[in-house]
Structure 1
């Protein structure tokens, strides 16, 4: 962490002339750091927010999740990087700036922790940070994405659990945005592996009206061989919905995707694929999912099963999907 309040720099030996000179960069009102440092915009935003923290404050929301190692959260939007949420205890004098949004609502001691980034930095727990991300999200779908990425057991990043977020929600029944959190918790999953997968699932659920979908579910042939792990599968009909994120354009991943799709189709599944471009036409994607389910329901072949063979639970490669 490099950004510090001007008063801190002066207390530790920086002279006023140097503070005003070209070797120091003004990051916000009263916030300086050495000039010439290069870092991604969201990393700089977290650094700036930490530099502005006062006693009785703690970093929250996306910045807390990021600082604790869950890099699905970077605060980036189409317009740049969002301000970092900072929880303030009563009486703490911390003004709103472009880089931070002070929040003076209720927070409990058990919702606070600290991380060591060369120094101890006060942050909210992963569960409280996920709650705040969902609470302040611009809409329900964004709130579900936030919770999914905070609780996912498949992406191998630091995570919390749905139960832990629910416990936070139960303690804060009057805060703005709590109704959205409750609705998002009802739609969230601990098995989604990416924001794109979550958004595709929400199109299938909320727009196409599908229920009972299995998330990142392994499918097997009737001899017990693994066909592949489907992003989404309708256990009633065998409709498989696959989400192609940016990484799927790489030739190696694209080849694996093609082989998995062929295996699903040989076993009698119907596959619908969704890309970022499809999500620009949500209703078109929804219609394709509905048609795919109708086709799957008419398919007489069912050479697949969701029931895992004995070897599956002991195979190391199955660990993310158990």
Structure 2
């Protein structure tokens, strides 16, 4: 399909084309194919496999990538958030774009606040305060929302934990620093025997340092996960930083990758390999 002036591929399809690993074009069931969303300032006939949204679009919101006309990354995220069926789904769109450094929270916030008259803007606006730039998967976002729905303090995302002498113990999905509570989502690859051995050893090392641990897997009832999180936090030691066997203070050799800005600074340097897990595979 040839796109006319004032129109471009947008949403998940544009973000995938721009390098977004988690934008696969699959529906919630993991099998059905999503239509390719098109944003157009002009009337366009909807063709099979596409979903056209007609609304105003500035030339600044269009770009050409590998010969395909797309809306810019921030506009594509904006489109995906507004089209999401829930606030959680909207947050996943934004955070998975941030995973590949396609947009920062500040860039997205400025864009959303500057485009307040678009359909679905309330959904995009309502998610801004809760977004985190360091979520590594959609399921981590879902677990964090369960955590917050359980009325527990907001956890840190993928923050490295070290021993007091500066050795890396691991990077848990979620961490309540005050209580000493770790939350981990185990996907299908954790069923591999070798991976399972590593997971068990890793959990044992965290527990040896006095950290409590909760694991979530696919398909669990959110209410049950919330109950486990609350019960685990009640068991936590809540030790002062000076009394902990672990630390969040990174040693001098550690390279920070916890924000979009920090990661963008690594591209083209000898530390770029630290971002390898974020590429499309």
TM-score, length-scaled by structure 1:
0.74
In structure 2, what is the equivalent of residue 140 of structure 1? 87
- Contact map agreement 1:69 1:158 (CA 8 A) in 2: no
TM-score, length-scaled by structure 2:
0.85
For the residues of structure 1 that align with 2:101 and 2:251, how far apart are their CA atoms?
Answer: 30
1:118-133 maps to which residues of 2 (within 5 A)? 120-133=67-80
Query: Which has the bigger relative contact order, CA under 8 A and spacing at least 6?
Result: 2
For the residues of structure 1 that align with 2:142 and 2:154, how far apart are their CA atoms?
Answer: 16
In structure 2, what is the equivalent of residue 67 of structure 1? 17
Q: How far is the alpha carbon of 1:317 from its aligned partner?
A: 9.6
For the residues of structure 1 that align with 2:26 and 2:9, how far apart are their CA atoms?
Answer: 17
For the residues of structure 1 that align with 2:238 and 2:271, how far apart are their CA atoms?
Answer: 36
- Contact map agreement 1:61 1:129 (CA 8 A) in 2: yes
Deviations 1:98-143 (A, max 9, x none): 4222222122222211111xxx211011111111111110101111
1:182-221 maps to which residues of 2 (within 5 A)? 182-205=125-148, 207-221=149-163
**3-state SS in 2 of match to 1:80:** coil
Structure 2 residue aligned with 1:309, among 238, 251, 267? 251
What is the number of residues matched between the two proteins? 259
In structure 2, what is the equivalent of residue 247 of structure 1? 189
Structure with the bigger percentage of strand = 1
- Contact map agreement 2:210 2:237 (CA 8 A) in 1: no
| Greater C-alpha Rg | 1
For the residues of structure 2 that align with 1:126 and 1:247, how far apart are their CA atoms?
Answer: 30
Q: C-alpha root-mean-square deviation of aligned residues, in Å? A: 2.4
Distance 1:201 1:121, change over 3 A: same
Structure 2 residue aligned with 1:151, among 90, 98, 105? 98
For the residues of structure 2 that align with 1:71 and 1:218, how far apart are their CA atoms?
Answer: 22
Question: Runs ≥4 in structure 1, deviation > 6 angstroms?
Answer: 298-301
Does 2:232 align with 1:292? yes
Structure 2 residue aligned with 1:258, among 184, 190, 200? 200
Distance 1:128 1:276, change over 3 A: same
1:90-105 maps to which residues of 2 (within 5 A)? 92-105=42-55
In structure 2, what is the equivalent of residue 88 of structure 1? 40
Q: How far is the alpha carbon of 1:96 from its aligned partner?
A: 2.5
Deviations 1:232-263 (A, max 9, x none): 10010110001111222223322222221111
**Structure 2 regions of 5+ residues with no counterpart?**
257-269
